[in-house]
Amino acid sequence: MSHNLEKMKKKKPSKEQISALKYLILNSKDADDEDKKICFALIDASQGFTKPVYFTIKDLPIDGEIPGIDRMVSSVGSTHLDAIMTALGTKYRFSFHGGYFRNKIWYSKIRVKGKWDFTVWLSDTRYDRQATSINKNRVSRVELKDTLHNLSRSVAQ
């Protein structure tokens, strides 16, 4: 059994599995559309969970709500992304922390009075300092409008 588990851990998730993951994220009640776009952009940029990536959400109000990606990962929410990622057989996980990177240096303080940044990684290493940043344009190009139809077809095949 442990041999099969090791094989599963080394196997790259299929396109169908990644489509199923996106389908679950898209239907999550734990996050808003912007959080879902960030997850999709990170998944796509990771090239099938082979390239560690991160995105920083800038200028959140310090007294505002934590992004829904937190709830999708944690046991507080109903999506349980960590369990899904384990079932996919990947060591990649979403992780997050208040703060931002600049020149591979981590800053976890409030950047502007009353505002803070929130960084989300998709990597096999928590808070991966070697991960590649994705920019806001990549996230803004994600279209959720027709995604549900396309994903449901992909999962059904």
What does the alpha-carbon distance between residue 73 and residue 128 come to, in Å, rounded to a whole number?
17
Looking at the chain, the whole-number percentage of residues with pLDDT higher than 90 is 47
Q: Where are the domains of the chain?
A: 2-156
Query: How far does Cα 93 stand from its chain's mean position?
Result: 7
pLDDT at position 62 over 60: yes
In the predicted model, what is the mean pLDDT of residues 47-60?
92
In the predicted model, what is the mean pLDDT of residues 105-122?
78
Run of H or E residues at 49: none
DSSP label at 11? S
Q: Comparing C-alpha atoms, which of 106, 29, 20, 116 is closest to residue 66? A: 116
**Residues with Cβ within 8 Å of residue 32, at least 6 apart in sequence:** 68
CB 52 within 8 A of CB 120: no
pLDDT at position 20 over 70: yes
Mean confidence (pLDDT) of the chain: 83
Token pair 């239907």: residue: 27
pLDDT at position 55 over 90: yes
65-109 residue pLDDT tens: 777 888 898 888 899 999 999 999 999 999 988 888 777 777 776
At residue 84, the pLDDT reads 93
At residue 154, the pLDDT reads 57
pLDDT at position 2 over 90: no
